[in-house]
Structure 1
Amino acid sequence: MRAHAHWNAGQAAQAEQLCQRVLAVAPGQSDALHLLGLMAHAYGKLDLAIEHLQAACRAPQAPAAYHANLAEMCRQHGHLAEAEAAARRAVALDADLVAGWNNLGIVLQEIGQFDESRRCLERVVALQPDSAEARNNLGNTWRRLARFDLAEACYREALACKPSYAQAHSNLAFLLSTQGRLDEAAAEARLAIDLDPHLIDAYLNLADVESARLAPAAALRTLDMLGAFAPRHPGALIARAKVLCQFERPDEALVVARDALALAPQVADAHLTHARVLQALGQTAPALDAYARAAELPGALREQAMLGRAMLLLEAGHGDEAQAVYEATLAAFPGSVGALAGRANARRFTRADDPDIALLEAFVADGAQRARPERITARFALGKAWLDLGEAARAFAHFDAGNRLKRASLVYDPAATRAWMARIGAAFASARLDGANAPRSELPVFVIGMPRSGTTLIEQILSSHSQVTGAGELPALRHVLEAHSAAHAPYPACVATLDAAQLARMGEDYLARVEPLAQGRARLIDKMPANFIYAGLVPHILPGARIVHVRRDPVDTCLSCYTRVFSGDQRFSYDQAELGAFYGDYARLMTQLRESLPADRFIEVDYEDVIDDLEGQARRLIDFLGLPWDAACLDFHTNPRVVRTASVSQVRQPLYRSSKGRWHAHAAHLQPLLAALAAAGVKTHADTTHGDAP
């Protein structure tokens, strides 16, 4: 009792001395051990706290509350199985112990047993109807059960009980973010931080909101604020690794992800994040292992880990194994939208009564009860399914709904984009750049064009050559430009300020970034389609580099964009009118740049010509690369390289003609797109030169 009194008075040293005196006389005395555990926990010594609590709970007469506290400390440490066992002992000893049911409900949340978690937490609410904490915790379980309406009601009830409850504001922020209500989510997260500047979850939720807004700098600033007082918090490190990876800084992300993994080796999210970073770096085998480890650990992330592993297997050309993982995911998580959509994109539907269609239709019928990202995924999967079945009206009803949902979550200004592209064209029309000192390496080959124009197909054909490495969509050129223009002006204004020495350094920097990826081969394909905006700069920083511009029928290109959800930043793609306008901006810019690009280092290839004459176009491209012919280029679909684009399934198949001119069958559903293309001066008839504006 004296020890407790000292502890309550803030006199930790005296409290510890008295506890040790008790234990000297009565080793294993549970009250003294329990108090020592509480003190260790308060000072951040979680391992020592758990050790003391475990010893306290071994006493035959240890109260139920001690087991409940042990459960919470084990949960905080990621020892979920031990946490569950301790919480179950607590409620078995005292069926009316609120803390026991509460801690058991939270542990069950984290291991994915949501229905039992709900029952536990509903019992807590019944025992303490005025408890804001109880309603907040129940809201968390409803959220994980995808009952977002009930979750939001619980959070708001918690805040009605306790308006200054920072954790409930933070959880409401997370919920609103999943529904695409990003402005509301950011406001709630910031309010939570104002109420409790040390609430870690609030910073993590605000960083998630900024990531969803595609604002990496803002997300990292938020995590920097968190790092100021919790620099080694595993959740903070995991969040930072995710942001760095999402915004194409995987090398930095890997360092942070490994730090998080060292701190939290039993946390599934640490392994899942590690897997995604390894995948981004092209380290397929270790990424598959990391996904498997994440799926084995207890927690609510098993479904995500299994889906990530399936997608990586698809990228690596292991379609049968990927389908097996999708099947296993659906067995473990019936109705998993990610698994249904993944399977839909990897196969062709042949029956309107396909059970996957029924499951997806039932999902979208739930409306706002489901998370916005999953609703978007389901809509696009259904659009693809009905398009397979020739039901265009049904298909486009889903595509239109999915695109509206996606567009509503993005900030995009078409007029600003048009003005920016016009400035790029003008900058190179007037530039007098001196690239005489730039490196003459012939290693880089840039494959550029609109998304879904056939760039992946061209890369797959070229990388099937024994002297060519396909490196995928590299952010290297953009990163080089950002690094070397930061002290001058943003692109394209910086073009006028670049001197010969700076241009040479930019080329050297680019080569330093990509040469390790070439695997000793003579050519490396950098297939970032959006590099067309930097095409005018390439001859001045890398005069030996080659540029392959891939073109496809404008409407087919835009239709293919409109019917896909992109993982990257393609904000122009989710509204037909904006998509058509962007295509016009792109076509005008390429018309301007075409005049200034050196003829021996620039070639254009039309997707339709490749479909009609694969060997002729492949020989033309290999000759352009200055390499001897390799017949393996004709068997590109057997190339085992990893393909990380929306075209992953198509490039595993031989060429097929059904993708040529496919828009004509759907013209009735593409009127906003056709009108926008016409307004932009883009020709859309099959007998015109593909992709050119007048």
Structure 2
Amino acid sequence: VDPEYALGYAGLANTYSLMSLYGLRPPTEVQPLAREAARRALEIDDSLAEAYAGLAAVQWSYDWDWDAAEQSYKRALSANPNYASGHQWYGELLASRGRLDESIAELRMAMELDPLSVQIRGVLGSYLLLAGREQEGVDQLQQTVELEPRALYALWVLSTYHLVRGDTEVGADYLRRTLEIDEAPIIVPLLAFQHVAQGRPDQARKVLEKLDEISKDRWVSRYNYAAVYVALGDTDAAFENFRMAVEERSDMLVYLETDMTLGSIRDDPRYDEILDAVGLVRWAD
């Protein structure tokens, strides 16, 4: 990176932050690098929206400093109100805190600014589902897949939604299409939910072995193992893995309350302990 190129450092910060989420590197390895790059970008240009967004991502998904992250996203959008990704990411943070109406407004703004982004369209659809606007959310997600048949996020959300609500065959078909695109560690645990719903618990348990296999080439968060144990109904093992996810600073933990697969464990007091560790409060049913 050119030592005086602020936007280059900002892009580097955002790339580092996404690497652990997508299973490329552990957060303890890349998030400090993301922070360093974002701060260097701001030293060069303290009016750069992308730099504030890069810093916000670290504050949110690694530091779990929700208020600081929100302020950084607001500064990003103040610097550039037309920053579509900034509206998307800020909307994701708001949704994680249960502020779904505000979140949906941010996602709609992002979609107006970047109408061809299938990621933004997919995230909007997922939050419409969480807000109880199910038909609107499903329509949004299906339209996204019609726009781009390989829209990974939208397919993943559709598979999750249908499996959780008991539409097993529909969910299984969406999951097949999702995994054909990418057997990402954050997607693979859904196979366990599918196998359990289809009466194949032994096959569901083998998903743990699949994650072990994937971990030879990609970083796999203990959050993903916890999700499999939730599907298996082994809550003790699930919470043991969630605690390990806290120790590894898994960025997936910021999505605890928006994870549709965790309904069966939210009444367990240990769930509140994990929320507290991440700085979240319960809002999801």
TM bracket, shorter-chain basis: 0.7 to 0.9
Mapped contact 1:173–1:205 kept (Cα < 8 A): no
Q: Are the structure 2 counterparts of residues 325 and 122 from structure 1 closer, same or farther at C-alpha, using a change threshold of 3 Å?
A: same
1:104 Cα deviation after fit: 5.6
Instruction: Report the secondary structure of 1:154's partner residue.
Output: helix
Per-residue Cα deviation, 1:387-415 (whole angstroms, up to 9, x for no partner): xxxxxxxxxxxxxxxxxx45xxxxxxxxx
1:302 Cα deviation after fit: 1.9
Runs of 4+ in 1 over 6 A off after TM superposition: 335-339
Q: Are the structure 2 counterparts of residues 325 and 195 from structure 1 closer, same or farther at C-alpha, using a change threshold of 3 Å?
A: closer
In structure 2, the partner of 1:284 is: 201
* Residue 141 of structure 1 pairs with residue 141 of structure 2: no
**Cα distance between partner residues in 1 of 2:245 and 2:70:** 27
Matches within 5 A, 1:499-578: none
Mapped contact 1:131–1:158 kept (Cα < 8 A): yes
Matches within 5 A, 1:344-383: 345=268, 360=273, 364=276, 370-371=279-280, 375-376=281-282
**Cα distance between partner residues in 2 of 1:329 and 1:175:** 20
Matches within 5 A, 1:611-626: none
1:330 Cα deviation after fit: 2.5
In structure 1, the partner of 2:133 is: 215
**Cα distance between partner residues in 1 of 2:45 and 2:191:** 41
Matches within 5 A, 1:26-37: none
Counterpart residue type for residue 139 of structure 1: A
**Cα distance between partner residues in 2 of 1:104 and 1:293:** 31
In structure 1, the partner of 2:230 is: 311
In structure 2, the partner of 1:327 is: 240
* Residue 240 of structure 1 pairs with residue 151 of structure 2: no
1:229 maps to which of 147, 150, 155: 147
Instruction: Report the secondary structure of 2:35's partner residue.
Output: helix
1:190 maps to which of 108, 130, 133: 108
Mapped contact 1:294–1:302 kept (Cα < 8 A): no
Mapped contact 2:56–2:68 kept (Cα < 8 A): yes
Counterpart residue type for residue 224 of structure 2: A
1:123 maps to which of 40, 55, 76: 40
Instruction: Report the secondary structure of 1:180's partner residue.
Output: coil
**Cα distance between partner residues in 2 of 1:107 and 1:277:** 32
Counterpart residue type for residue 151 of structure 1: A
In structure 2, the partner of 1:107 is: 16
Q: Are the structure 2 counterparts of residues 285 and 190 from structure 1 closer, same or farther at C-alpha, using a change threshold of 3 Å?
A: same
Q: Are the structure 2 counterparts of residues 108 and 189 from structure 1 closer, same or farther at C-alpha, using a change threshold of 3 Å?
A: closer
1:160 Cα deviation after fit: 0.7
Q: Are the structure 2 counterparts of residues 332 and 95 from structure 1 closer, same or farther at C-alpha, using a change threshold of 3 Å?
A: farther
Mapped contact 1:109–1:117 kept (Cα < 8 A): no
Mapped contact 2:118–2:144 kept (Cα < 8 A): yes
Per-residue Cα deviation, 1:77-111 (whole angstroms, up to 9, x for no partner): xxxxxxxxxxxxxxxxx666652673265234431
TM-score where L is the length of structure 1: 0.34
**Cα distance between partner residues in 1 of 2:167 and 2:146:** 22
**Cα distance between partner residues in 1 of 2:186 and 2:174:** 13
Counterpart residue type for residue 127 of structure 1: I
Asked which structure has the greater RCO (Cα within 8 Å, sep 6+), the reply is 2
Counterpart residue type for residue 290 of structure 1: V
1:249 Cα deviation after fit: 1.3
Per-residue Cα deviation, 1:570-598 (whole angstroms, up to 9, x for no partner): xxxxxxxxxxxxxxxxxxxxxxxxxxxxx
Counterpart residue type for residue 180 of structure 1: G
Q: Which runs of 5+ in 2 are unaligned?
A: 21-25, 257-261
Mapped contact 2:225–2:238 kept (Cα < 8 A): yes
Per-residue Cα deviation, 1:392-450 (whole angstroms, up to 9, x for no partner): xxxxxxxxxxxxx45xxxxxxxxxxxxxxxxxxxxxxxxxxxxxxxxxxxxxxxxxxxx
Matches within 5 A, 1:288-687: 288-294=205-211, 296-297=214-215, 298=218, 302-313=221-232, 315=233, 323=236, 326-334=239-247, 345=268, 360=273, 364=276, 370-371=279-280, 375-376=281-282, 405-406=283-284
1:167 maps to which of 85, 101, 122: 85
Aligned residues: 261
**Cα distance between partner residues in 1 of 2:9 and 2:70:** 25
**Cα distance between partner residues in 2 of 1:187 and 1:154:** 18
**Cα distance between partner residues in 2 of 1:105 and 1:168:** 11
Mapped contact 1:244–1:252 kept (Cα < 8 A): yes
Higher helix proportion (structure 1 or 2): 2
In structure 2, the partner of 1:200 is: 118
1:198 Cα deviation after fit: 1.0
1:257 maps to which of 175, 193, 198: 175
Q: Are the structure 2 counterparts of residues 149 and 293 from structure 1 closer, same or farther at C-alpha, using a change threshold of 3 Å?
A: farther
Instruction: Report the secondary structure of 1:118's partner residue.
Output: helix
| % identical equivalent positions | 18
Mapped contact 1:159–1:168 kept (Cα < 8 A): yes
1:251 Cα deviation after fit: 0.8
In structure 2, the partner of 1:38 is: none
1:138 Cα deviation after fit: 2.0
TM-score where L is the length of structure 2: 0.76
Instruction: Report the secondary structure of 2:186's partner residue.
Output: helix
Counterpart residue type for residue 278 of structure 1: H
**Cα distance between partner residues in 2 of 1:289 and 1:275:** 8
Counterpart residue type for residue 230 of structure 2: M
In structure 2, the partner of 1:77 is: none
**Cα distance between partner residues in 1 of 2:106 and 2:244:** 37
Larger Rg: 1
Mapped contact 1:291–1:305 kept (Cα < 8 A): no
**Cα distance between partner residues in 1 of 2:246 and 2:61:** 13
Per-residue Cα deviation, 1:601-635 (whole angstroms, up to 9, x for no partner): xxxxxxxxxxxxxxxxxxxxxxxxxxxxxxxxxxx
Counterpart residue type for residue 105 of structure 2: A
